[in-house]
Amino acid sequence: MGRIVQKYGGSSVADAESIKRVAKRIVATRQLGHDVVVVISAMGDTTDDLMDLALKVSPQPPPRELDMLLTAGERMSAALLAMAIADQGLKARSLTGSQAGIITTGTHGNARIIDITPGRITKALEKGDIVIVAGFQGVAQDTKDVTTLGRGASDTTAVALAASLGADHCEIYTDVDGVFTADPRIVPSARRIPRISYETMLEMAACGAKILHLRCVEYARREHVKVHVRSSFTDKDGTWVEDWEEGSQMEQAIISGVAHDRSEAKITIVGVPDVVGEAARIFEAVAAADINIDMIVQNVSAVETHRTDISFTLPKTDGATAIAALRQLQDELGFSDILYDDRIGKVSVVGVGMRSHPGVTARFFTALAEVGVNIEMISTSEIRISVVVDTDDVDRAVAAAHTAFGLDAEEEAVVYAGTGR
C-alpha cells in the first residue's frame, strides 16, 4: 500500500456539507490501505474576510501580524476536517504548518519553504492516523514566527510534503477534470491532457494556465513528485504531471495547449537615447522596485532618430509602482515619455512538439490574422510562442490557435461551479 498526499482548495471545504464530502473521499482513500496526508486551504472566503477585518483595524497591517491572523483560516478548516473524518470512524489529526515541520524563510506574506521536518506527521502515520496539514503556512527558521507562503501556496505545501514523505504521488483537487488544451470556459471544445511533462506544465503555468501555480510545478519538477490534477467532484482520472518525454509518442500533437493571461499590463518607454547601458539602467530601476518583468521588446523608435522605444509587460498590480520608479529616471536618462496600457492579454501556444516542427510560428500568426487579431508584442522560448494582443481579442485568438493546431475535441468539456483554489 502506498502513501498519498491530497490537497483540497477552499471551495472544496466552503461549508459543513462540503467538509463532510471531502472527508468521505479521504476516508475512502485511507480504506484502500494508503497512508494519507491531506493539505487543506481555508474555508471559502475566510482569508478575504480576515483581510477585510485587518484593513478595518489598520490600513497597513504589519506583515507578521497579518500572517498570524490569516493562518487561523487553515487552522480552522484543518481541525473541522479532522472532526468530520473522526465522525466517519477513522482517526485523524490536524497539524498547523509549524507542527507539520514546514520550515520557511522569514519573509512574511511570501515566505519560501527551506526545510521540512515531518517527524510529527510520520509518527501519526505510523499510528495509522490520517494527517491533516494546514496549508499556506509555516514557521520562520530564525524567529519561530508564523509565516505564510504567498499565492498558490497550499499546492506547494502539498508537493513539498509529498517529496519529503516519499509519497507515491500528490493529488491536487480542483473544480475541473484536469489540465486542458485551453481554458474550457473560452474554448468549449478544449481537451483534457491526460499526461504532461513538468517543462510543458511550467510554460503553461507561466503563460497564465491558472490550474497549477508556477512555484508548485517548479517544486514538483525539482523533487520529481508525480502530481495528479483532478476534480473533487468526480472519480475520473485527471492530468498526470510527471517526468515524461512528450515527443516520444506517435501522432503527438505539435503543441500541448493554448494558454492565456489577462493579468498583465504593458509599459512603453518612448525615445530612449540609443546609448550603451541605457536599457540596463531602466531595468535595474524596475528590479529595484521588486517588480517581475515578463516580455521585453526593443525597437528603433518610430518617431525619433538615434533613439529606441522599449516595451515590457508586468503584472497590472505593479503598474503604478513601476511608472513611479521610471519617472524618477526620466531626466537622468533623457527618454521622452512613458506609455501605459493595461488593456492587453497574452496568448501562448506551448509544446515540446514545436522543437521538431518548423512553421509553428507561421501557422499561429496566420490563424490570428484570419480572425483579424493584431499582434502587439512577440516573445518565444524553445517550447513556447507568446503574443500580446488587445484584451478584447484574447478569446478569439485562443480559439483560433486551438483549432489551427488541431486540438479541438468532438464533445464539449465539463466545467464545474466554484474555483477550487
Tell me the closest approach of the beta carbon of residue 376 to its own copies, in angstroms: 43
Chain residues in the site for its own copies (CB under 8 A): 16, 19-20, 50, 53-54, 56-62, 64-66, 68-69, 71-72, 75-76, 78-80, 82-84, 86-87, 92-94, 96, 99, 120, 144
Binding site, residues? 7-10, 47, 74, 174-175, 185
The CB-of-163 to its own copies minimum distance in angstroms stands at: 24
Residue among 62 and 247 whose Cβ is closer to its own copies:
62
Parallel, antiparallel, or unpaired for β 113-116 and 102-104?
antiparallel
User: Looking at the DSSP assignment, which residues form a beta bridge with residue 104?
Assistant: 113, 140
- In the bound state with its own copies, the residue whose beta carbon lies nearer, of 2 and 119, is 119
Q: How far is the CB of 55 from its own copies (least distance, A)?
A: 9
Cβ-count burial 44-67 (b if 16+ within 10 Å, e if not): bebbeebbeebeeeeeebebbebb
C-alpha cell at 316: 497590472
In the complex, minimum distance from the CB of residue 151 to its own copies, in angstroms, rounded to a whole number:
20
Which cell is 14 given?
466552503
Nearer to its own copies, 81 or 329 (CB): 81
By beta-carbon proximity to its own copies, the closer residue of 88 and 361 is: 88
Nearest CB to its own copies, comparing residues 20 and 151: 20
For residue 220, give the C-alpha cell.
514538483
Indicate the annotated binding residues for substrate: 47, 74
Please state the residue numbers annotated as binding site for ATP: 7-10, 174-175, 185
Tell me the three state secondary structure of residue 389. Answer: strand
CB nearer to its own copies: give 148 or 348: 148
The minimum distance between CB 257 and its own copies, in angstroms, equals: 38
Going from the C-alpha of 341 to that of each of 37, 288, 350, the distances in angstroms are 45, 22, 25
In the complex, the smallest distance separating the C-beta of residue 71 from its own copies, rounded to whole angstroms, is: 8
Q: Is 362 left (phi over 0), alpha (psi -120 to 50) or beta?
A: alpha
Yes or no: say if 349 and 382 are a contact pair by the CB < 8 Å rule.
no
Are the C-beta atoms of 255 and 351 separated by less than 8 Å?
Answer: yes
Burial class (CB in 10 A: 0-12, 13-18, 19+), 122: middle
